Amino acid sequence: MGKPQEPDTLVGCEECGLVVELPTLKDGEKATCPRCDHTLAKRIALPFQRPLSYGVASLVMLVASISFPFMSFSVKGIKQEITLMHAAEMLSVFQNSLLALLLLLTVLILPATYLISLLYFYFRAWTLVMGRSSNAISATEKRLCRLMLRIEPWLMVDVFLIGVLVSLIKIASLADIGLGMSFWAFCIYTVLVVKCVSMVDPTWLWMQFLPMERLPQVKAGDSHLSDNHISCHYCGQLNAIDQDGKRCVRCHGKLHGYHPQAMLQRSWALLIAATIFFIPANLYPMMYTVSLGNSEGSTILEGVVLLWQLKSYPIAAVIFFASILIPLAKIFALIWLYSHAQKATSMDDMKAIKKLKLYRMTEFIGRWSMIDIFVVAILVALVQLQNLMAIYPGPAALSFAGVVLLTMLSAMSFDPRVFWTKQESDTNSSQNAVNH
């Protein structure tokens, strides 16, 4: 159950710029762009009940994840036990407050903010449909909804869990490892959060509160090259072209028109900064290991080689791909995409879609490079047995985090609509979204 969709609802595809008419969706259906196959809107079965139940369960598991011992590490009768909060605290103790903040934000604070906001808006929409609340949505609520949508790419609970599993395998041969109640709660919490995020659709959610305002000069089949509208990144509303730099008439989010040169300059700047950080991230030690009073630093590549020598082939492969191959491949892929976008004059839809697929892949895999940072965080918190055995973060950890964050920001700031350089009247794309 939900609000019926307004007739002739037009949205602009974020990835190719085509303006299409949304069909009325039933439970379990989604609408995709007929030109690039990007999902424009979706409606899950039980659209209010499922997100609410998953959201509540996620928060319960989050509380359990930070309330009990996470794991323990013991060697020769000496035992170290940590909680999830202790991992961030130990990074701060070793003068890595920025990494501690990054861990807290991506694993605890931002996911909690997202879940609480999700519960509020889905409950608010449910009461609205049931006729138990007014239709008005305040400016504060609009800001909160935009915040919820902006922080979604930065939720890294799944990446952190993989980092924890890599850490366990990495040190399992050195000592006895114990898994606490919070570890199992965090595993459930991760699954629930991932499921929760997959059920949220911004277009459908905004439609529950505010209908789309129709621009008379815009019709299905127009595009970002028609120069007659600006599409809102938050709610999908098509705004008049003179609103560039102003606020969306529907959600009050700031509008950014189609300015390919300025966009490419910003994306290039972030990518160059990431490339610069990549050099010290691989030259300096990622962490220092103290054993019987002797301290030894290891770079990312040295850690991979050590794991390989210890015959931990799957973990060595995971670290190599996540910490070396993926960041390097993403940098080269973005350089190639930006170069082609900068000198693109005209290309057919097939060539544009191939470039778009590569862009989607680089944007998806970028966050998984954070695995190595989370491995360091867990090991630093867990392995603190004085001179017998201890692990400390190295200078490369912060540089590597900078590489991951800057490449993510660079990919996010890039506008893939730049690949479509021909007016839609010259193509054969349909004007209506495809209903699945």
Contact criterion met (CB below 8 Å) for 144 and 117: yes
Residue 425 has pLDDT above 90, yes or no: no
Q: Which of 17-21, 53-57, 325-329, 346-350 is the least confident region?
A: 346-350
Q: Is residue 349 part of a domain?
A: yes
What is this structure's pTM? Answer: 0.90
Domain assignment of residue 428, yes or no: no
The pLDDT tens digits for 6-29 are: 556 899 999 999 999 998 888 888
Looking at the structure of the chain, the number of domains it has is 3
In a domain, 57, yes or no: yes
Residues 366 and 228 in one domain: no
Residues 26 and 160 in one domain: no
For the stretch 196-253, pLDDT in tens is: 999 999 999 999 888 888 888 999 999 999 989 999 999 999 999 988 888 999 999 9
Residue 433 lies in a domain: no
Distance of CA 207 to the CA centre of its chain: 23
Asked whether residue 222 is assigned to any structural domain, the reply reads yes
Same domain, 90 and 30: no
Cα 382 from chain centroid?
A: 27
Let me know whether 97 and 218 are in one domain: no
**Which is more confident, 387 or 370?**
370
**Same-domain status, 124 and 177:** yes
- Specify whether 28 is located in the same domain as 87: no
Return the structure tokens found at 349: 């839809």
Say which CATH number the domain at 303 has. 1.20.140
The verdict on residue 1 lying in a domain is no
Q: Based on the fold, state whether residues 69 and 151 are members of the same structural domain.
A: yes
Quote the pLDDT of residue 135. 66
Is 82 within 8 Å of 65 (Cβ atoms)?
A: no
* Number of C-beta neighbours around residue 425 at 10 A: 10
Q: Strand 230-231 vs strand 19-21: parallel, antiparallel, or unpaired? A: unpaired
- pLDDT reported for residue 6: 56
Confidence band, pLDDT 50/70/90 cuts, at residue 429: very low
Residues 64 and 189 in one domain: yes
Mark whether 83 and 140 lie in a shared domain.
yes
Closest CA to 318 of 371, 366, 278: 371
Write the pLDDT tens digit of every residue in 285-336. 888 877 766 777 788 888 788 777 767 677 778 778 878 888 899 999 999 9
Decide if 324 is inside a domain.
yes
**Burial per residue of 16-43, b for 16 or more beta-carbon CB atoms within 10 angstroms, e otherwise:** bbbbbbbbebeeeebbbbbbbebbbbbb
Same domain, 164 and 34: no
Domain that holds residue 160: 47-199
Q: Tell me how far apart the alpha carbons of residues 191 and 290 are, in angstroms, rounded to a whole number.
A: 35
d(CA 432, CA 429): 9
Are 271 and 290 contacting, i.e. CB atoms less than 8 angstroms apart?
no
Evaluate the CA torsion angle 413, 414, 418, 419 in order and state its sign. Answer: negative
* Weakest-pLDDT range from 8-17, 78-87, 416-425: 416-425
Give the C-alpha separation, 70 to 75, whole Å. 18
Q: Which of 71-75, 85-89, 191-195, 310-314 has the lowest mean pLDDT?
A: 310-314
Amino acid at 112: A
Same domain, 75 and 125: yes
* 227, 241: one domain: yes
Residue 395 CB neighbours (<10 A): 17
Closest CA to 378 of 153, 110, 192, 183: 183
* Both tokens assigned to 289: 């290991």
Phi and psi at 356, nearest 5°, equal -65, -40
Rounded-to-integer distance, Cα 215 and Cα 157, Å: 40
* Whole-number Å distance between alpha carbons of 94 and 96: 6
Q: Which pLDDT value is given to residue 377? A: 85
Smallest Cα–Cα separation from 2: which of 42, 61, 57, 56? Answer: 42
Residue 279: inside a domain: yes
- The label of the residue with tokens 């949505």 reads 137
